[in-house]
Amino acid sequence: MGQQQLLLIVMAVIIVGIAIAVSIALFRSNAIESKRDILIEETTSLGLMALQYFKKPAELGGGSHSFIGWIIPSQMIATANGNFVISTVDPDELVITGIGTEVVTGTDSIEVQTIVTAHTVNSIIIH
C-alpha cells in the first residue's frame, strides 16, 4: 500500500510540473503577441502622423504630397514598448520599423514594419 501512495505522489508531482511548464509557455506566447499588437498600434499611429504631414501644404508646415522631411517625434523614437526608426523614405512612400523590447527567440526581438503611402497604412510582422 505504501508503494502505491508513493507512486501516486510522484505521478501528481510530474503532472503538476507539466501543467506549470505549459502555463509558462502560454503566458510567454501571450506576452509576445500583446507586445506585437502594441508595436503595430504605435507604428500605425506614427504612419498616420506621417500621412497628415504628407497631405498638409508646405505653407502650413507639411510635406505638400511628399514624405521627405517628416521625422518621428522625439518622444516616440523610444518608448517602453520599443524603438522606432524610419527605414525608407521616398516622396510617395515611407516605411517605419518598430523593434520591441520583448525577445521572441534567442536574440530576435519583436519587429514590425508599417508602410505608408498616399492612400494606405499597412503593417507587416517581421518577427
CA distance 55 to 15: 60
The confidence band for 70, taking pLDDT boundaries of 50, 70 and 90, is very high
H or E stretch at 102:
strand 93-105
Does residue 67 contact residue 92 with C-beta atoms inside 8 Å? Answer: yes
Does residue 78 contact residue 100 with C-beta atoms inside 8 Å? Answer: no
Note the pLDDT tens digit of each residue in 3-55: 889 999 999 999 999 999 999 989 888 888 888 999 999 999 999 999 999 99
Does residue 125 contact residue 112 with C-beta atoms inside 8 Å? Answer: yes
What pLDDT was estimated at residue 1? 60
Q: Is the pLDDT of residue 112 over 90?
A: yes
H or E stretch at 108:
strand 108-117
Q: Is the pLDDT of residue 105 over 80?
A: no
What are φ and ψ of residue 98, in 5° steps? Answer: -115, 125
